[in-house]
Amino acid sequence: MSTARSEALDRTDPTYVRPLLTVFLGWLWVMVGVNLAAPLYAVYADEFAFSGLVLTTVFTTYAVTLVATLLLCGRVADRFGRRPVILAGLAVGCLALVVFAAARSTAWLYGARALQGIAVGLISGPATAALVEIDPLRDTRRPALLAGLAQAVGSGLGPVVSGCLAQWAPDRLRLSFLVGLAGTLVAVAFAWRLPEHARGREPWRIQWPRLPDGLRTDFLRVGLTAGLVWASLALYLSVVPSYVGALLATDNLALLGVNSALACFASAGTQVWARAHGDRPHRSQALGLTLLAAGLVLLVVSSLTRSLPTVLVGAVVTGVGHGLAFTPAHHKLNTFVPQHRRAEVSAAFVCCIYVLVGGAVVAVGLIDETGGLTRGVGIVGSLLTAGSLVTAGWQVVRGR
């Protein structure tokens, strides 16, 4: 039987399609829940009377607990299996949405974001590994695409859902989280029937994720690429809604949600295109990082022009850059990681992403305290631009 025919059969085999969709859609819906609050932070700031620094630390609490969970539990799925850890992450995600819906003060927001960090920290490693293991052809590019789409599409849908519900439906600070909770409970029901692969034999213990010998340079390059593109996208999911609201003097939550989602959806579309047309990961990452830098420049320039089109074009260019760079970086990671270390190294990869995400968002908040939000976005955007261009040069040199 030809390879093409074999692939066609594998794609339609329910034993392959159902678990693959379960992992993909479960991870996507968790990311929807994580980003439901994006356009609502300005409302919470008015409701609970907190500053821009508090807003950014609330957002960054998620990154801190996510990284801590990865460091503590990076090998749990390699030892105990993918399904129980994914189910645990979904359960914590449900609890986080309940806390958001019941929030009565800033402390509740910190608690909800901390729980969301734990949820994604538990899910991201085993979900990444499961996507590779479920794929019967062990095609490292397809699982990387699905992982990227789950994160990008989920991150985009969250602000759209909450922004539209908050603008036009009742109970704007609770309804979207209840919708998110219902979807996550459905994901739990499907994940309960996931097939389980063989578990590891090494006793589990808390430890830092380790990198196999000889892979540190390659890992650093793809980790830095992924961290830069996600730190840039994180700005659109945290401070940019407030930034755009102040810039354009609007409190339309649907508009702010769509603006945040635009970069995510542009990334998702680009990832699909790159999967079909891209075959040189180093070149794709270099081009993506360069476009990311251009999008960040447009975001900074928008503060001078006070132009909605400039903001929207900047979001699209940033998203295209993200999509071109992230999937090839993730694919490259999958090609050089040994199977028995996949969840552990995937956890370290996600750590790289969220260290930069947390650092970028907190930096904006600190600058906002003394120089204003516009200045904070400008300085951090400029630093991310410089880092993106330097890393793009590294990718070009490595790809020769």
How does pLDDT run along the chain (400 residues), one tens digit per residue?
Answer: 334 444 444 455 556 678 888 999 999 999 999 999 999 998 998 999 888 889 889 989 999 999 888 878 767 777 778 889 999 999 999 999 999 999 999 999 999 999 999 999 899 878 877 887 777 665 657 777 888 899 999 999 999 999 999 999 999 999 999 999 999 999 999 999 887 765 555 566 665 666 767 778 888 899 999 999 999 999 888 888 888 888 778 889 998 899 889 999 999 999 988 877 666 778 889 999 999 999 999 998 887 788 888 989 999 999 999 999 998 888 788 777 777 676 677 778 878 888 899 999 999 989 988 888 888 989 999 999 999 999 999 998 876 5
| Integer Cα distance of 258 and 312 in angstroms | 10
pLDDT value for 333: 81
Question: Can you say how many angstroms the Cα of residue 37 is from the centroid of all Cα atoms in its chain?
Answer: 14
Tokens of 135: 């794929």
Residue 144 main-chain phi, psi, to 5 deg: -65, -40
| Integer Cα distance of 388 and 342 in angstroms | 26
pLDDT value for 282: 81
pLDDT value for 213: 72
Q: What is the pLDDT of residues 164-203, one digit of tens each?
A: 999 999 999 999 999 999 999 999 999 998 877 655 555 6
pLDDT value for 9: 40
Q: What is the pLDDT of residues 309-341, one digit of tens each?
A: 898 999 999 999 999 999 888 878 877 777 767
Tokens of 359: 């650092």
CA-based nearest residue to 96, from 158, 155, 47, 33: 33
Give this prediction's pTM.
0.86
Q: What is the DSSP-derived secondary structure letter of residue 139?
A: -
| Integer Cα distance of 139 and 279 in angstroms | 13
Which amino acid makes up residue 161?
V
Residue 35 main-chain phi, psi, to 5 deg: -110, 10
pLDDT value for 250: 83
Tokens of 219: 């890992």
Residues 376 and 363 sit within 8 Å (Cβ to Cβ): yes
| Integer Cα distance of 400 and 396 in angstroms | 7
Burial of 394 (0-12, 13-18, 19+ CB in 10 A): middle
| Integer Cα distance of 377 and 375 in angstroms | 5
| Integer Cα distance of 148 and 270 in angstroms | 11
| Integer Cα distance of 158 and 260 in angstroms | 9
Q: Which residue has the tokens 């609970």?
A: 48
Contacting residues for 101 by C-beta, under 8 A, at least 6 apart = 174, 177, 178, 181
Contacting residues for 306 by C-beta, under 8 A, at least 6 apart = 247, 248
pLDDT value for 137: 61
| Integer Cα distance of 314 and 372 in angstroms | 21
